[in-house]
C-alpha cells in the first residue's frame, strides 16, 4: 500500500486554537523547537471514534511542556474538546493522533525564556510500527549499542523531541541488521525499553518488567499492569540484565502504536508466543474498544 507523504495529505490540523487546512499548517524554519529540540508531544490512538486515555495524555503533555518552560495558552479541558472535535472533523473512526507544543521563532539561542509557544493537534489513519504478519507471529529485536541517557543529565519522565534521537539511532541500526526493532539498555547496562515502547518478560506465569527510572513509564505499560492485576497475574518491577533473558519464557512490547506486540527473538534467545501475552493483548483490545 502506498504511503502518502505527510505534506500531501488532506484534512485539518488544530493549530493554536484554530482548525487549519492540513497543507496550510506551517511554521517558520527558524523555530526553537526545530533548532534546539524545545518541543514536547504525545501519541494517542482513536478506537471507534473515541480517544483512548485522552485526559491522561493531555495531562502529561502539559506536565512535559511545563518542565521545558513551554507555555501552553489553553486549558486541559479546551485541548480535550479540540481533540474530540478534530476526530469528528477528520472522520476517522480508527486513527493515530499527535499533539505538539513547541517554542517559536522569538529567539535563536539556547536560552528561550519568554519566547512564544505554539500548540497543534493532528491525526491520520491508523498505522503500525510493524507489519500485520509481524504483529501476529512476533517480532525479532536485538540489543542496541546505544544506551538510554543517564537520568541525572536527561529528563526521562517527559516526552520531548530531543529524547528520541538516540532511540532513532538504535532502531535504524536494528533494521540494518535485519531485526524489527532494538532493545535499549540504561546507563548501568540494565534492560530499559524498546526503541519507542516498554518491554515485559514472562516467567512462571508472572510478568517481569524493568522498573522505571531510566525511561518513560508509558501509559500503555501501566494499563497492561492493571489488566494483569485483574487477571491475578503478578508484575515484578525490577532491574533486569541481558543475562536474565535465558530464564524467561516469553516477551512482548507495549505502547500506543505497538499496543501489545509479542517478541519471538532477542539477539540469539528465542521465545514462544506465550499464552499470557496473547491473553493480555486480547484484554487490551477489548478494553480500548
Render 142-203 in DSSP notation, one character per residue.
EEEEEEPPPTTTS--SS-BGGGGHHHHHHHHHHHHTT-SEEEEE-TTS-EEEESSSEEEEEE
Closest by CA position to 31, among listed 117, 134, 144: 117
Give the whole-angstrom CA distance, residue 40 versus residue 163. 10
The C-alpha cell that represents 192 in the structure block = 530499559
**How far, in Å, CA of 265 to CA of 245, rounded?**
10
Query: Which of 87, 27, 11, 77 is closest to 52 using CA atoms?
Result: 87
- pLDDT higher than threshold 80 for residue 145: yes
* CA-based nearest residue to 82, from 53, 108, 107, 51: 51
Which range (131-145, 177-191, 228-242) has the least confidence?
131-145
Statement: residue 182 has pLDDT above 60:
yes
Determine phi and psi for 237, rounding to 5 degrees. Answer: -100, 120
Long-range contacts of 204-208 (CB under 8 A, 24+ apart): 204/249, 205/233, 205/276, 206/233, 206/234, 206/235, 206/236, 207/233, 207/234, 207/235, 207/236, 207/276, 208/235, 208/236, 208/238, 208/240, 208/248
Write down the pLDDT at residue 133. 78
Mean of pLDDT values over 7-15: 93
pLDDT digits 0-9 by tens, 110-139: 988 888 999 999 999 876 777 777 778 899
Residue 1 pLDDT exceeds 60: no
Q: Is the pLDDT of residue 217 over 80?
A: yes
Q: Which residues pair with 184 in a beta bridge?
A: 193
**CATH code of the domain made up of 6-125:** 3.30.470.10
Burial 270-281 (b: 16+ CB within 10 A, else e): ebeebebbeebb
- Rounded CA-CA distance 52/218 in Å is 13
Mean pLDDT score of the chain: 94
| pLDDT confidence bin for 62, thresholds 50/70/90 | very high
pLDDT, average across residues 265-282: 96
How does DSSP assign 214-270, residue by residue? SS---HHHHHHHHHHHHTT--EEEE---GGGGGG-SEEEEEETTTEEEEEEEETTEE
Residue 50 has pLDDT above 60, yes or no: yes
Are residues 143 and 45 in contact, defined by beta-carbon separation less than 8 angstroms? no
CATH 3.30.470.10 occupies which residues in the chain?
6-125
Is residue 4's pLDDT more than 90? no
The yes-or-no verdict on residue 3 having pLDDT over 80 is no
Instruction: State in words which class domain 132-288 has.
Output: alpha beta
pLDDT of residue 154: 85
Q: Where in the chain is the domain with CATH 3.20.10.10?
A: 132-288
What b/e readout covers 193-205, taking b as 16+ CB neighbours within 10 angstroms? bbbbbbbbbbeee
Residue 107: burial class (beta carbons within 10 Å; 0-12, 13-18, 19+): middle
Amino acid at each position: 500500500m502506498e504511503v502518502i507523504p505527510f505534506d500531501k495529505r488532506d484534512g485539518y490540523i488544530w493549530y493554536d486554537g484554530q482548525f487549519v487546512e492540513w497543507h496550510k499548517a506551517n511554521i517558520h524554519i527558524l523555530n526553537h523547537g526545530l533548532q534546539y529540540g524545545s518541543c514536547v508531544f504525545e501519541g494517542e490512538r482513536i478506537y471507534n471514534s473515541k480517544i483512548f486515555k485522552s485526559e491522561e495524555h493531555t495531562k502529561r503533555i502539559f506536565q512535559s511542556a511545563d518542565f521545558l518552560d513551554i507555555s501552553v495558552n489553553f486549558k486541559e479541558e479546551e485541548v480535550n474538546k479540540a481533540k474530540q472535535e478534530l476526530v469528528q472533523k477528520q472522520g476517522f473512526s480508527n486513527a493515530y493522533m499527535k499533539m505538539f507544543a513547541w517554542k517559536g521563532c522569538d529567539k535563536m539561542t539556547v536560552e528561550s525564556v519568554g519566547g512564544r509557544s505554539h500548540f497543534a493537534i493532528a491525526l491520520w489513519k491508523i498505522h503500525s510500527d510493524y507489519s500485520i504478519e509481524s504483529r501476529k507471529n512476533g517480532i525479532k529485536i536485538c540489543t542496541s549499542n546505544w544506551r538510554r541517557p543517564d537520568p541525572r543529565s536527561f529528563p526521562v519522565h517527559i516526552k520531548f523531541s530531543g529524547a528520541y534521537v538516540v532511540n532513532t539511532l538504535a532502531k535504524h541500526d536494528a533494521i540494518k541488521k535485519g531485526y524489527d526493532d532494538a532493545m535499549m539498555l540504561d546507563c548501568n547496562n540494565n534492560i530499559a525499553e524498546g526503541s519507542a515502547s516498554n518491554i515485559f518478560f514472562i516467567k512462571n506465569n508472572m510478568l517481569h518488567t524493568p522498573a522505571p527510572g531510566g525511561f518513560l513509564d508509558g501509559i500503555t505499560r501501566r494499563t497492561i499492569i492493571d489488566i494483569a492485576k485483574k487477571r491475578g497475574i503478578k508484575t515484578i518491577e525490577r532491574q533486569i540484565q541481558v543475562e536474565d533473558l535465558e530464564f524467561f519464557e516469553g516477551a512482548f512490547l507495549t505502547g500506543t502504536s505497538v499496543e501489545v506486540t509479542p517478541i519471538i527473538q532477542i539477539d540469539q534467545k528465542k521465545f514462544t508466543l506465550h499464552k499470557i501475552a496473547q491473553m493480555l493483548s486480547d484484554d487490551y483490545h477489548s478494553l480500548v474498544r
